[in-house]
Amino acid sequence: MTIDFGYCLKILLRIGPTIPYTLFIIAVSGVLGILLAMGVAAIRIKKWKIIYPLTNLYMSFFCSTPAIIHIFLIYYGLPLLLRQVGINADGWSKTLYALLALILFNGAYMSEFLRPAYLSVDRGQHDAADSIGMSGFAKFRRIILPQLLPVAWPNIENATVELVKDTSVLFVIGLVDIMGKAKLIISNDYGVKKLEVYIVTAAVYWLITFLVSRGFQLAGRKLGITRHE
């Protein structure tokens, strides 16, 4: 078996331009996903009536079905659903569906560890903050969050790495991100040197996950979230 490294370099130049787009998808769905997860976790902690059982249903669905199914369901199902309420979704970009699928999945996935992280903060900390007259928001920002983050940080890092990996299935709805471009290259070149294309794709994903992981570790240390090991 031989690998054509010159060809690999050419492939890299063709895949390269799709990297920013992929990073954009990762960033938007990561940030909005964690915001949704915080909302879901808050509902589950407060055990609000009516919505609480709904979050149970939502989490069980998104945690027990594969990411590829979410993308298919949202891409094919949402326009149909919207048409029922009189919204025409014909011209909507595929990016929107992809983002929605990733956000919904991460909202469920991340809330699964945000809730235990919140509950890991000792009850006495709440009482102490209340006793000195802190408002709800001040209590959360100054007392709870600094104790919650060190617990949740490694999980947030892992979830983001998983998110990067999950973007590799978006090509199934025809999105031209890193994997989508790789697929296009293969079909344009009539399937020659597939192995080279996948090696380059693998290397690009590996680099992104490596940088994301390092970024989290560095940020954790610089912001004083994680104690140095």
Place of tokens 């978006």: 170
Tokens of 69: 């199914």
| Residue 64 touches other proteins, criterion: CB under 8 A | yes
Minimum distance of other proteins from residue 150's CB (angstroms): 19
**Range in contact with other proteins (rule: CB under 8 A) among 35-43, 48-56, 65-73, 112-120:** 65-73
Q: What share of the chain is helix, strand, coil (3-state, %, to 5)?
A: 80, 0, 20
99 near other proteins, judged by CB under 8 A: no
Q: Are 103 and 39 in contact (CB under 8 A)?
A: no
**At closest approach, how far in Å is the CB of 225 from other proteins?**
21
Grouping H, G, I as helix, E, B as strand and the rest as coil, residue 47 is: coil
Q: Is 206 in the site for other proteins (CB under 8 A)?
A: yes
> Is residue 65 close enough to count as binding other proteins by CB under 8 A?
yes
- Cα gap 45→119, rounded to integer Å: 8
Tell me the number of residues near other proteins by CB under 8 A: 32
- The closest of 225, 98, 206, 71 to 156, measured between CA atoms, is 225
**CB atoms closer than 10 angstroms to residue 25:** 21
Whether 70 and 101 have beta carbons less than 8 Å apart is answered as yes
Q: Is 72 in the site for other proteins (CB under 8 A)?
A: yes
Question: In the range 172-201, which residues lie near other proteins by CB under 8 A?
Answer: 179, 194-195, 198-199, 201
Determine, following the binding rule CB under 8 A, whether residue 1 of this chain makes contact with other proteins.
yes
**Closest separation in Å from C-beta 167 to other proteins:** 8
Q: Return residues touching other proteins (CB under 8 A).
A: 1, 60-61, 63-66, 68-69, 72-73, 76-77, 80, 161, 165-166, 168-169, 179, 194-195, 198-199, 201-202, 205-207, 209-210, 213
